[in-house]
Amino acid sequence: MLIKRCLSFVAMATFSVSALAWEPSGKVECIAPSDPGGGWDFTCRSVGNVLQDLELVPGSVQTTNMAGAGGGVAYAHTISKRNDDDTLLVAGSTATITRLAQNQFPGMNADMVQWVGALGADYGIIAVGKDSKYQNLNQLMDAMKANPRSVKFAGGSARGGWDHLKVLMTAKEAGVDKLPSVPYLSYNNGGEALTQVVGGQVDAFTGDVTETTGFMESGDIRILAVLADERLPGKLSDIPTAKEQGIDAVGPNWRGFYMPKGASDEAKAYWTDAINTVYASDEWKKVMKRNGLIPFHPDSDQFDSFIHKQVDDIQQLSREIGLLK
């Protein structure tokens, strides 16, 4: 039903974008709260390209990489330095919400920015290097059940962030004890974490499928499981789910944007409609198919309530596994 509503919105969205009084006339910037590589960088660059192709921006969209504190540096920068900037978008995801839910951005909360919209969901995966002794997810989890410290994970979020939570969720469902003892190394982005796994310095990777496409195609990694209800479409359909291996773990990571709270109402309306238009376009459908994104696009008037519910849900999960009091 959601997909049908989005498809029927194409003509209306295209018209409303062109009819609005405000439109960007200068440089449009997208902040990726990480170093190059990884999901936030992917979001800025891929959506920026489609915005340009659809002539929704003048010229190109400038991607600015702003790593630090699991997205906290970019979040603070948006609030304190750019609060009234009409031409700024910032890549966000479930990883952003996780940090907010766990009070990892001191003095900041989800009400301090404007949530623009989501353009798909990127499902979590657990992967190992091509020469790893672990051939499936159950072998990996069995080793952790015998010794929670025996498998070292790398991910692109900070400790306690969404990548870390995905491992702990999966391990909990598999029956692993002493979850806080599971080793997790945090890197600035998924690409950097994957490099450590490929090089043999770390046993396994936790991240999202869009981060692994190049490494998977080159044969440098093997994905043991995707944390989805069912197998992903297309070229990713060979990857088994955790559920079909008997471990009921699902970890979707939405991809989208927030913008400054103090931006003008006209700018907020423009970018909301622009993201709707991108999502409904053939150009974006090709990007989604190529990178394993699954349709996910809450109506604009529902997105803010979705964000706040996700904050509540992640707070509860974090308490259950001992990461939040």
Asked which of 211, 245, 279 is the last residue of a domain, the reply is: 245
**How many structural domains comprise the chain?**
2
- The pLDDT tens digits for 297-314 are 998 889 999 999 999 989
31 Cβ contact list (under 8 Å, min separation 6): 44, 63, 64, 65, 66, 74, 77, 78, 88, 89, 90, 91
Query: 266 in a domain, yes or no?
Result: yes
Burial group, residue 113, by CB count within 10 angstroms (0-12, 13-18, 19+): buried
pLDDT at 234: 83
What integer pLDDT is reported at residue 301 of this predicted model? 84
Contact 88, 78 (CB under 8 A): yes
Residues 239 and 156 in one domain: yes
Are 102 and 144 in the same domain? Answer: no
Q: What is the pTM of this model?
A: 0.77
Q: Identify whether residues 237 and 130 lie together within a single domain.
A: yes
Q: Which of 215, 245, 275 is the last residue of a domain?
A: 245
Count of residues making up the chain: 325
Q: Domain containing 205 — which CATH number?
A: 3.40.190.10
Judgement on whether residues 134 and 236 belong to the same structural domain of the protein: yes
Q: Which range of residues forms the domain containing residue 285? A: 2-122+254-320
In this structure, what token pair is assigned to residue 120? 């798909």
- Whether 118 and 141 map to the same domain: the answer is no
Asked if 16 and 112 sit in the same domain, the reply is yes
Domain boundary among 220, 245, 270: 245
Residue 69 shares a structural domain with residue 136: no
pLDDT tier at 281, thresholds 50, 70, 90: very high
Residues with Cβ within 8 Å of 301's Cβ and at least 6 positions away in sequence, in order, are none
Kind plus residue range of the DSSP H or E element containing 116: strand 113-129
- Under the banding of pLDDT at 50, 70 and 90, the label for residue 291 is confident
Instruction: Give the pLDDT confidence of 51-89 residue by residue, as tens digits.
Output: 999 999 999 999 999 999 889 999 999 999 999 999 999
Q: Which residues contact 127 (CB under 8 A, 6 or more apart)?
A: 194, 197, 204, 205, 207, 212, 215, 216, 221, 222, 223, 224
- Is residue 164 located within the same domain as residue 241? yes
